[in-house]
Chain A
């Protein structure tokens, strides 16, 4: 069910890597769980949609008033890679 190319795509979307020996165990687990999901086909959902939940009237949304956010001090506490006011990362190329 979860073949090599599917597993590769899911790993890419998840930004995860696995070793060669882990691959078959992970694909096996995933397949078993996904097979279990087949139980849902027992239920006739024609004409039923998840539909949007309880709506909020537009008039009750957040008022457009500014509130103070985090201070630079807080940001420095978050990461050692927060330097000179920026979060530094390896060079951004076209890759995601």
Chain B
């Protein structure tokens, strides 16, 4: 796609928007990045702290293997090169929720470099600059009634984070949103992070400026880093606001990146505006140096290959394949691919099934209903995929009706029993045997002479009534199509 097609024009100014993102993702590890405290959201303040994450004198960090593995998996999913040697560095700055006065992060040897993410919006690839590991800070709380004080909770302190830095490859607010959504989809699918923006397990900063085209000349407006965008809506709104603001600023002041450099602005959710954050210049002198308390990490190729096999097929590719292979709709494919476990369940159930689409329907309605009711994941669902396949096939082959199948499913989900076992125990299999069905039809006709007369007098509703009696007599087990055919044949004297 050529650059010029991305250009926009407003009041005679031809420009393009240039956006790069820094996405922070909290990992779903059991423990914190550098200590064995539990890694979990919320809870009683300061209830998950230890000498290490509280920065007590003498305490030392110890790297979690799960953090390193999560970073490698993420890098592999984004097509990054995984470093053979990686190391941690200290990023020094002062803040009350940063107990050690430095954040353990990565500077010049990040764990993953390069890569790309395909985004649906504009059908483009956004380049990945790097993925690095670091620790989260605590949280400061400000109360209305205590105007002069803040309160610090260190539970979040030390939570493992990945920072995913993109190239400045996005050309619209929509693409930026699509990029962050794409990151979220992959992280959720791989069960690396729950990427919940409200709880802060996914956070995004964006760098944005404009390229102004004036004939042959090209100008760049000063780059602005936007912070504090806490929802997808906020990302879009902040970038739209900032684009307009930079355009207006260009019109009135013609400030360029070369002349002004970078600045930081915070997004205000209530006003929908970005506001300049003034910081002392020295505050951004982070004095990075190698973290002497931790050894560099050697990443063997065996580990990378082992983790690569865990990554497997990625969501975008899997969606397309599910649609092509099983004839699923966009929506069904999208929903099934929301988690790796869910799509895995589907594929196991669908393999060898007569009707994969029906399997998808069952998963998306009945199975998801049970999961939601019980608040459990598919991995803890009582029925293995082959049971669901057996159930759906039982409907297809006419052993049970769709209605009875729902009863069977309820018991499967509760007990984990095989559907065939439930059908047999409860005698639920459909009566398809003609001889048996004829006996039922005969007995219904014998017991309902009036309805038979009505039918023969041309009153069609009588047929419906008689059919209902057949189903009742058979306790719902009569194969309805075969029974209706036999009933009509009998009534019409054939």
List chain A positions with a Cβ less than 8 A from chain B: 9, 12-13, 15, 50, 52-59, 61-67, 69-70, 72, 75, 82, 84-92, 94, 96
User: Are B29 and A64 in touch, CB under 8 angstroms?
Assistant: yes
The contact sample of 17 A-B pairs, CB cut-off 8 A, is: A52-B109, A54-B295, A55-B297, A59-B303, A62-B36, A62-B63, A63-B65, A65-B30, A66-B30, A69-B48, A85-B46, A85-B47, A87-B46, A89-B151, A90-B150, A94-B277, A96-B283
User: Are A91 and B65 in touch, CB under 8 angstroms?
Assistant: no
User: Are A58 and B295 in touch, CB under 8 angstroms?
Assistant: no
* Cα–Cα distance between A62 and B152 once the two chains are bound (Å): 28
* Cα–Cα distance between A40 and B285 once the two chains are bound (Å): 24
Neighbouring B residues of A84 by C-beta, 8 Å: 151
Contact A88 to B151, CB < 8 A, known contacts A64-B31, A64-B65, A69-B50: yes
* Cα–Cα distance between A78 and B49 once the two chains are bound (Å): 13
* Cα–Cα distance between A15 and B45 once the two chains are bound (Å): 28
Taking residues whose C-beta sits less than 8 angstroms from the other chain, chain B's interface range is 35 or more
CB B154 to nearest CB in A, in angstroms, measures: 8
CB A45 to nearest CB in B, in angstroms, measures: 16
Cβ-defined partner of B149 (8 Å) among A63, A69, A70, A88? A88
Does B140 have its Cβ within 8 Å of any Cβ on chain A?
yes
User: Are A56 and B65 in touch, CB under 8 angstroms?
Assistant: no
Contact A58 to B65, CB < 8 A, known contacts A69-B50, A92-B142, A94-B278: yes
Contact A61 to B149, CB < 8 A, known contacts A15-B94, A94-B277, A96-B93: no
Main secondary structure of the interface of B (DSSP, over half): loop
Cβ-defined partner of B151 (8 Å) among A63, A66, A87, A94? A87
Neighbouring A residues of B299 by C-beta, 8 Å: 58
User: Are B295 and A56 in touch, CB under 8 angstroms?
Assistant: yes
Neighbouring B residues of A12 by C-beta, 8 Å: 280, 282
User: Are A92 and B68 in touch, CB under 8 angstroms?
Assistant: no
Does B96 have its Cβ within 8 Å of any Cβ on chain A?
yes
Does B147 have its Cβ within 8 Å of any Cβ on chain A?
yes
Does B64 have its Cβ within 8 Å of any Cβ on chain A?
yes
List chain B positions with a Cβ less than 8 A from chain A: 29-31, 35-38, 44-51, 53-54, 62-66, 68-69, 85, 87, 92-96, 109, 140-142, 147-154, 277-280, 282-283, 285, 287, 290, 295-300, 303
User: Are A62 and B300 in touch, CB under 8 angstroms?
Assistant: no
* Cα–Cα distance between A56 and B291 once the two chains are bound (Å): 14
Cβ-defined partner of B31 (8 Å) among A54, A66, A91? A66
Task: Count chain A CB atoms within 10 A of each CB in B38, B93, B151, B283 and give the residue with the most.
Answer: B151
CB A17 to nearest CB in B, in angstroms, measures: 14
User: Are A55 and B295 in touch, CB under 8 angstroms?
Assistant: yes
* Cα–Cα distance between A85 and B154 once the two chains are bound (Å): 10
* Cα–Cα distance between A92 and B297 once the two chains are bound (Å): 36
* Cα–Cα distance between A43 and B53 once the two chains are bound (Å): 40
User: Are A94 and B152 in touch, CB under 8 angstroms?
Assistant: no
* Cα–Cα distance between A53 and B85 once the two chains are bound (Å): 11
* Cα–Cα distance between A50 and B108 once the two chains are bound (Å): 13
* Cα–Cα distance between A89 and B95 once the two chains are bound (Å): 11
Neighbouring A residues of B85 by C-beta, 8 Å: 52, 55
* Cα–Cα distance between A85 and B290 once the two chains are bound (Å): 34
* Cα–Cα distance between A53 and B290 once the two chains are bound (Å): 10
* Cα–Cα distance between A54 and B48 once the two chains are bound (Å): 32
User: Are B95 and A96 in touch, CB under 8 angstroms?
Assistant: yes
